[in-house]
Amino acid sequence: MSTAIKEIKKTRPVKPLDPEKIKQELLAKYPPKVARKRSKQILVNKKDEDGKIPSIGANVRTVPGIITQRGCSYAGCKGVILGPTRDIVNITHGPIGCGFYSWLTRRNQTRPASDQDDNFMTYCFSTDMQDEDIVFGGEKKLKSAIQEAYDAFKPKAISIFSTCPVGLIGDDVHAVAREMKEKLGINIFGFSCEGYRGVSQSAGHHIANNGIFTHVVGKDDTIKDADYKINLLGEYNIGGDGFEIDRILDACGISVVSTFSGNSTYDQFANSHTADLNTVMCHRSINYVADMMELKYGIPWIKINFIGAKSTAKSLRKIAAYFDEPALIKKVEMVIEREMPEVEAVSEDVKKRCEGKVAMLFVGGSRAHHYQELFREIGMKTVSAGYEFAHRDDYEGRAVIPDIKIDADSRNIEELDIEKDPEKYRPRKTPEEMASLANKGVPFKKYDGMMPEMAEGSLIIDDVSQYETELLLKIYKPDIYCAGIKEKYAIQKSGIPMKQLHSYDSGGPYAGFKGAINFYKEIDRMVNSNVWRFLEAPWQSHPELSAKYVWE
Ligand code: CFM
């Protein structure tokens, strides 16, 4: 039986939507207590008479029973921060699933300098805890796992990541680390990053920052013979982003001492305190390291962003302005001039077909902001966006940090007491130079967050749930929705193109100039695809079934 394939025209709401009403609709079915809580996390973006944006509820517990996008503290520590480092043996102390599911699914890439270089990322190390280890304790098993990993690989360093059961039964991973460090003579350190340590993976970032700062940073004082030494903080080389950024920085003559932590090595971390500037890409995950390095070693930090061609150019200019050398400034301008024509040609072409289309982004703790820039460059609008686990400063800017209330969950995460290193502290600029640079548009320690850059009336939603996602799709009928693998197929089933902005599906890089071109082309293909026309849903040929795509 053949049925004619119908062409279904997408119907966009004609009248402009009232975001306040949409907010009420999202909350309508929640029990009153839940609605009250969610109402603080769902905001219409608008400034008051004094030009102030509203404050959002963020970094708070998800209501049990709500299907959240979030991950756990172990994921943030092991998967996100330490996972991309290739020559540390990362042992997951816990049941096998924790290690297995955090094993390369993030598509963080690495490139060893030669075949002789260690690369353990292709291995998944786990103590594979069993019931009897839970009953009798798992420390013995952990010690023998460390010994076994050492015998097999002779790595420079081994780190241990605690999963939920480890904390519950009270295994002391730090004591085991100390004992084995003494015995084997290599650096061994543990993380108390049990999944339940915080309300999301964000807690794991902080724990990882503290651990890497305490146990590794500052161990190698060799000063690299290179000009314009920077660290790139919060860039994880997903889909090769870091390779593209390295290509650009290299062309400008800027040298990267250490990246935290895409394509990184143990030695780079150990030597990172010798850099002259910290550049922070993902503020959420690594701002702790930036702050601690400034306090202990005197390295200033600036926020940069290599997502979006214009942001890339702006970030390069900021770095050049910091070093304030005419030769560097000239070289950076040359690189921008060389790279931009191709980017602009593609964006202009793509814009013809994408202008006015609508995107929604619900991703992590930084990309929901950064990727709006790429959509803007091809004329697309972001009508609603939110983070999974970011804090108020990532929404509203760092100026709100002193007002952020410490609750029982955030109190759980250790704040290290950092002091100037008596020998290694070296201010890179005088206070006068810092002030004059800030005046020239190189503000230090400054991040204004996502909300000030978003249009008035856009809907900001923290820790969006699956239920809310489904409603949002029905109401806004966006041309594209960006989130992660857990959301992907539910969204595609409603007939909306879905782009994973964590793993990039199988694409990337999207950072830098070449990355921007990749992104424009891919989004063009996705939002202008005819594929949905050729898919016949069961209800289209069987009228007794009642169902609809969201855009029908
Ligand atoms: Fe930073 Fe990240 Fe992100 Fe993040 Fe992540 Fe990620 Fe992310 Mo997935 S470190 S906050 S914990 S930019 S894994 S590379 S994509 S949620 S927006």
DSSP string, 428-466: SS-HHHHHHHHHTT--TT----SGGGSPTT-EEESS-BH
Q: Are 191 and 159 in contact (CB under 8 A)?
A: yes
Question: pLDDT tens digits, the chain, 552 residues: what are they?
Answer: 344 444 444 556 656 789 999 999 999 999 999 999 999 999 999 999 998 999 999 999 999 999 999 999 999 999 999 999 999 999 999 999 999 999 988 999 999 999 999 999 999 999 999 999 999 999 999 999 999 999 999 999 999 999 999 999 999 999 999 999 999 999 999 999 999 999 999 999 999 999 999 999 999 999 999 999 999 999 999 999 999 999 999 999 999 999 999 999 999 999 999 999 999 999 999 999 999 999 999 999 999 999 999 999 999 999 999 999 999 999 999 999 999 999 999 999 999 999 999 999 999 999 999 999 999 999 999 999 999 999 999 999 999 999 999 999 999 899 999 999 999 999 999 999 999 999 998 999 999 999 999 999 999 999 999 999 999 999 999 999 999 999 999 999 888 999 999 999 999 999 999 999 999 999 999 999 988 778 788 888 888 888 888 877
Q: CB-side exposure of 314: number of CA atoms within 13 Å?
A: 16
Alpha-helical (H) ranges within 185-305 are 201-215, 241-252, 266-271, 283-297
Interval between CA 414 and ligand 1 midpoint (Å): 21
User: Which residues partner with 360 through β-bridges?
Assistant: 384, 481
Whole-number Å distance between alpha carbons of 372 and 453: 9
Which amino acid type is present at position 482?
A: C
Whole-number Å distance between alpha carbons of 131 and 385: 42
The closest alpha carbon to 156, from 242, 86, 51, 63, belongs to: 86
Cβ-based neighbour number of residue 76 at 10 Å = 29
Q: How far is CA 170 from CA 163, 167, 175, 237, in A?
A: 11, 5, 12, 35
The closest alpha carbon to 477, from 388, 376, 358, belongs to: 358
**pLDDT value of residue 552:** 75
Residue 330 — φ and ψ, nearest 5°? -65, -45
The verdict on the CB of residue 278 being under 6 Å from ligand 1 is no
**pLDDT value of residue 7:** 47
Q: Are 102 and 78 in contact (CB under 8 A)?
A: yes
Interval between CA 82 and ligand 1 midpoint (Å): 13
- 439 CB burial (10 A radius; 0-12, 13-18, 19+): exposed
The verdict on the CB of residue 238 being under 6 Å from ligand 1 is yes
Dihedral angle over CA of 517, 522, 528, 530, nearest 10: 150
The closest alpha carbon to 550, from 142, 89, 13, 122, belongs to: 13
The closest alpha carbon to 265, from 117, 469, 93, belongs to: 117
Residue ID of nearest Cα to ligand 1 atom 14: 236
The verdict on the CB of residue 233 being under 6 Å from ligand 1 is no
Please give the structure tokens belonging to residue 476. Answer: 């806004």
Q: Are 330 and 504 in contact (CB under 8 A)?
A: no
**pLDDT value of residue 12:** 61
How far is C-alpha 202 from the chain's CA centre?
10
**pLDDT value of residue 207:** 98
Catalytic residues: 72, 75, 106, 205
In which element (H, E) is residue 417 found? none
What DSSP designation does 479 have?
A: S
Interval between CA 510 and ligand 1 midpoint (Å): 14
Ligand 1 atom with minimal separation from the 503 CA:
15
User: Which domains, from first to last, does the chain contain?
Assistant: 73-195 (3.40.50.1980)
Peptide bond into 443 cis (omega under 30): no
The verdict on the CB of residue 450 being under 6 Å from ligand 1 is no
